[in-house]
A and B are shown apart, each in its own frame.
Chain A
Amino acid sequence: MDIQTWTFIIVGLTFALYIGIAIWSRAGSTKEFYVAGGGVSPLANGLATGADWMSAASFLGMAGIIAFAGYDGSVYLMGWTGGYVLLALLLAPYLRKFGKFTVPDFIGDRYYSNVARTVAVVAALFVSFTYVAGQMRGVGVVFSRFLDVEVNTGVYIGMAVVFFYAFLGGMKGITYTQVAQYCVLIFAFMVPAIFISLMVTGNPVPQLGFASSGEDGVYLLDKLDGLMTELGFTAYTDGTKSMTDMLFITAALMMGTAGLPHVIIRFFTVPKVSDARKSAGYALLFIAILYTTAPAIAVFARTNLIETVEDTPYEEIPAWFTKWENTGLIAWTDKNGDGKIQYRPGDAVEGRQPEFIESRGTQGQRMISNASSSANELYVDRDITVLANPEIAGLPNWIIALVAAGGLAAALSTAAGLLLVISTSISHDLIKKQIAPDISDKKELWVARFSALLAVVVAGYFGIHPPGFVASVTALAFGLAASSFFPAIIMGIFSKRMNREGAITGMVAGLGITCYYIARFKLGWIGNPETSTQEHWWWGISPEGFGTMGMLVNFAVSILVSRFTPAPPEEVQGIVENIRIPSGAGEAIEH
């Protein structure tokens, strides 16, 4: 059977599975809709968190980013895993003990203020929408790549599937579909990785293959460093980023991970405080399986790419090269006219992507209109690292189809988790808590369902008409979460003295300065665009890393302001006392 047929069969089967689970796990109350009734086992929650966390970008993009960034890519590996240590040690158990439904719930009650609650809702919506737009687009892109449909059609199919189980099941439906999605995505990621590792190093464990040698007896990383320096690149194991920037980006990603509402609410679904700790451990374990495999794939792929293409005549290139050239993910321009491929540092094309023209070159290669003047002749899209893996390893067609199902599972599960945060923010934090407190549970459930519908439509709209800034802002959502939620929650738990005034001014200051910096240096909306370049960054910190600075500002402002304003009331200090003690969380507070 050909790849196309296999893909339809496997993707169809997985979708049927997700929809079956959705029907089986319909939500009957708001508690089931918001936190799956608080009865999810730590293991199931760990699996669901893994799928929630790993998006299309992790599944398809992670190995690629590292393959092309080398040591610099470490910020993502450490940043997106280290945050779980903070979650497990500093946030999850206490928020579970607090026992309500959302992050704004905690902020609003702990800081006895609807202003604080509203600031938190706005921040949650802002972070989740920037994140979800990228996911819906990702669903469309995966569909278009594997099933040959228009990107927009793919977005519509994705919207329909996510809507179905989010509308029916809320958190309960989402949790159990995410468990299934984790299994699909990790299987789809690991099978090609194991085969490639065997092929390259003779060791089936990619994490060990990473540290071993190839057939020629030379250690893989030494060989890659050698190949790269020979061609004029920085060595793979040396970075180009400054140490300060590495520190700031890693920290921003860690604190941001720990402050993302769609991750935090997953820990409201387990029965006990000790379960919240344990399930954070499981979650990181399941995430680590993919995150420690990705750098191994990255090394295999980069080495293989250089060895295969460098100085190779175009006529002798393997079939996968021309296949991905035809989809536009690879482009080659024979700049020096020798008929061979030269892969060098620098951009091969002007702008982000190659622009193909109709005609073919003398070797049969696709011609592009925007070749750059650098000596580099080869354009390679980073996503190819994972996409082309099964073909490079010569694996059967059904495994290629499996990778498609894995990519879709990753994108759908993350989108669903985010949509739930958005709908909960609207139905619970805004309507139930502020506009119509007397609403019955049944009615609130319907409001929640229609908020989910609204959220899917808005997210789908952004997926089809992506605002120009979405691509760059997704990574920045972490900086925003780090500079707003993280300090407010930490101080809410670890300081009894932190009060309403401190928390609100801190969140506004942290979020404000981070937004300003991003608008100034990343988007170029404020100030002279000519001075928004790297030389003008404050202390050499990139916009991706500035969330750490925003977080420090948040802490500083909060502590300063709280010293000059009255201490929180007695009963709020009682809340803090109470969340520090793990017992008695079994009966999650109904309200």
Chain B
Amino acid sequence: MDIKQREKYWKENLKYLGILLAIWFLVSFGFGILLVDQLNAFKLGGVKLGFWFAQQGSIYVFVILIFVYVRLMNKLDKKYKLDA
């Protein structure tokens, strides 16, 4: 694999990381802590939304994020023929 290909692969990986980690930050530090009072004005079922993100929602999103990354990277590895 030549250097150009490697760099392209790495850049795409970093792009995925940037997007997914932004979501990671938003649902936990953002919705669960920084914006908790604003979100608590809304309700999901019987739970205030900010509180729900802090104790439930952020964890569900974390699990989804990892599996999304697994899928994205498996595709990327295939594209660059690195899945051997």
Residue-wise interface mask of B (24-52) relative to A, using a CB-CB cutoff of 8 A (1 in contact, 0 not): 10001100111010001000111110011
Within the complex, the shortest CB–CB distance from A496 to chain B, in Å, comes to 11
Which chain A residues border B62 with CB–CB below 8 Å?
81-82, 84-85, 284, 288
Which of B46, B65, B69 interacts with A211 by CB under 8 Å? B46
Chain A residue nearest to B56 (CB atoms) is A292
Interface of B is mostly: helix
**Contact A277–B66 (Cβ < 8 Å):** yes
Which of B17, B34, B45 interacts with A90 by CB under 8 Å? B17
Task: Check A28 for interface membership: any CB of B closer than 8 A.
Answer: no
Which chain A residues border B74 with CB–CB below 8 Å?
274
Which chain A residues border B51 with CB–CB below 8 Å?
71, 74, 221, 237
Which among A93, A220, A251, A581 has the highest number of chain B CB atoms within 10 Å?
A581
Within the complex, the shortest CB–CB distance from A79 to chain B, in Å, comes to 9
Task: Check A213 for interface membership: any CB of B closer than 8 A.
Answer: yes
Give residues 267-304 of A contacting B (CB, 8 Å).
Answer: 274, 277-278, 280-281, 284-285, 288, 291-292, 295
Give residues 49-88 of A contacting B (CB, 8 Å).
Answer: 66, 71, 73-74, 77-78, 81-82, 84-85, 88
Which chain B residues border A243 with CB–CB below 8 Å?
33-34
**Contact B55–A281 (Cβ < 8 Å):** no
Give residues 42-84 of B contacting A (CB, 8 Å).
Answer: 44-48, 51-52, 54-56, 58-60, 62-63, 65-67, 69-70, 73-74, 77, 81-84
Chain B residue nearest to A78 (CB atoms) is B28
Q: A74-B54, A78-B54, A246-B33 are in contact. Are A222 and B59 (CB under 8 A)?
A: no
Task: Check A396 for interface membership: any CB of B closer than 8 A.
Answer: no
Chain A residue nearest to B58 (CB atoms) is A78
Which chain B residues border A211 with CB–CB below 8 Å?
44-47, 52
Which of A90, A93, A207, A577 interacts with B56 by CB under 8 Å? A207
Q: In the complex, A64→B3 CA distance in Å?
A: 54
Interface size class of B (residues with CB under 8 A): 35 or more
Task: Check A247 for interface membership: any CB of B closer than 8 A.
Answer: yes
Q: In the complex, A495→B70 CA distance in Å?
A: 23
Chain B residue nearest to A70 (CB atoms) is B51
**Contact A66–B55 (Cβ < 8 Å):** yes
Q: In the complex, A586→B84 CA distance in Å?
A: 9
Task: Check A584 for interface membership: any CB of B closer than 8 A.
Answer: yes
Chain A residue nearest to B43 (CB atoms) is A219
A-side residues, CB < 8 A to B, are: 66, 71, 73-74, 77-78, 81-82, 84-85, 88-90, 93, 207-208, 210-213, 219-222, 237, 243, 246-247, 250-251, 274, 277-278, 280-281, 284-285, 288, 291-292, 295, 577, 580-584, 586
Given contacts A295-B56, A581-B82, A582-B77, 20 further A-B contacts (CB under 8 A): A66-B55, A71-B36, A71-B51, A71-B55, A74-B32, A78-B32, A81-B58, A89-B65, A208-B45, A221-B48, A237-B51, A251-B29, A274-B70, A277-B69, A280-B66, A281-B70, A284-B63, A292-B59, A577-B6, A583-B77
Could you list 12 examples of A-B contacts with CB < 8 Å? Answer: A66-B55, A71-B55, A84-B62, A89-B66, A212-B45, A243-B34, A247-B29, A277-B73, A291-B59, A295-B55, A583-B83, A583-B84
